[in-house]
Amino acid sequence: MSPVPPLRTRARPWLAYALAWVPFAVLQWVSIATQSDESAGMIVDAAISRTVISALLGVGVWWVSGRIALPARRRARFYAVQSLLAVGFAALWTVAWYARWIPQMGWDETMKATGGAQALGRQMMMGIWLYLMVAGASYALRVRRRLQEREVAAARAEALAARAQLAALRAQLNPHFLFNSLHSLTTLVRHDAEAAERALDRLGDLLRYALDGAEAEDVLLADEWEFTRNYLALEQLRLADRLKIETALDDDALECDVPSFVLQPLVENAIHHGIAPRPAGGTVRVAARLDGERLVLEVRDDGPGATPEQLANRAGLGLRALRRRLEARYHGAAGVAVVTEPGAGFAVTVHLPAADGAPAVAPLPA
């Protein structure tokens, strides 16, 4: 059973509804004061009475708007029903208005004060106008609420999809990479037991980060870089001198929070596509810096680069998942840029807010 909201939360919509009728009460006071010679107390009483009657009947209009939805088709029927409801509302509103004064003033005095029988038409027209205003506001609020609910549901679905892809990334730690690492370790054990022990420690740290951090959305960039550095060290066991690493990571950048698994997939892509296929190997450069309120991460290789068609195939699960995660998390305030061309290597740059709670930043330009 869902919990009951606090009294203050439940009372807030009713308070807002009551305040929405204040301008109507003022208009009624001005209208009655300019058309009547009654005392000030009577005028205020009449304005308040008319407002209270309208507000109470308006609750019924809100209820009806929830039962008769705006149709996608057969709108003529909808408008016919609304017309009948408007007339019925106007009749109730008029009867309630006269019923408020007849017991106090009597029939003759009430008819005289309100303008007599000829004023009934004006009362009915005003009741119809009032219904249209209340019903229009009710439907507008319901449509707005539905749109907000859809936006929230879409954002939640996007976040869940991104989280599922993140789980896939964590689960995948490429089996080929693990197989190659274990194969390299087997060879290393025979020739350098001490180096093999260090490599095993790195592999253990790498797996611990992937498994123990499975629930962490954010980590320090320093921790993410340590995980990535362990990955690079194990890849160097396989590629040896064919893999060269250059780094330029500012200390203040390393203290920033980043989404977990934001860096390692980019490095993996660089090695897999830019370095490993080349007999001569190549260099991967990893950089991180602060640019005002933004954190800028860059992974660059000097491999063969790619054409636009090759780029579409090269992006892979990691880059697509990263884009979706950043969009779901930062809503346009973060992004991924790719620069490449044949023979010019491959560079991926990630821009994101420097830390949670930092001043809001404008969306990246398209």
In one letter, which amino acid is 194? Answer: E
Residue 284 pLDDT? 93
Fold designation for 173-353: Heat Shock Protein 90 (3.30.565)
Q: DSSP string spanning 189-250?
A: HHH-HHHHHHHHHHHHHHHHHHHHTTT-SEEEHHHHHHHHHHHHHHHHHHHGGGEEEEEEE-
Residue 214 pLDDT? 53
Where along the chain do the CATH 3.30.565.10 domains lie?
A: 173-353
Q: Which residue has the tokens 């490993």?
A: 276
Tens-of-pLDDT digits for all 366 residues of the chain?
Answer: 444 455 566 677 778 777 878 887 788 777 767 766 666 777 777 778 778 888 888 888 888 888 887 776 667 888 888 889 888 888 887 777 677 666 556 555 655 555 555 667 777 888 888 888 888 888 888 888 888 887 776 666 566 555 655 555 554 555 556 666 666 677 666 666 777 777 777 777 767 776 665 556 788 999 889 888 888 888 887 788 888 999 999 999 999 998 888 888 888 888 888 888 888 889 999 999 999 889 999 999 998 887 777 776 655 556 777 787 788 778 778 889 988 888 888 899 999 998 643 433 434 443
Residue 181 pLDDT? 67
- In this structure, the chain runs to a length of 366
Q: Which residue has the tokens 């679905």?
A: 157
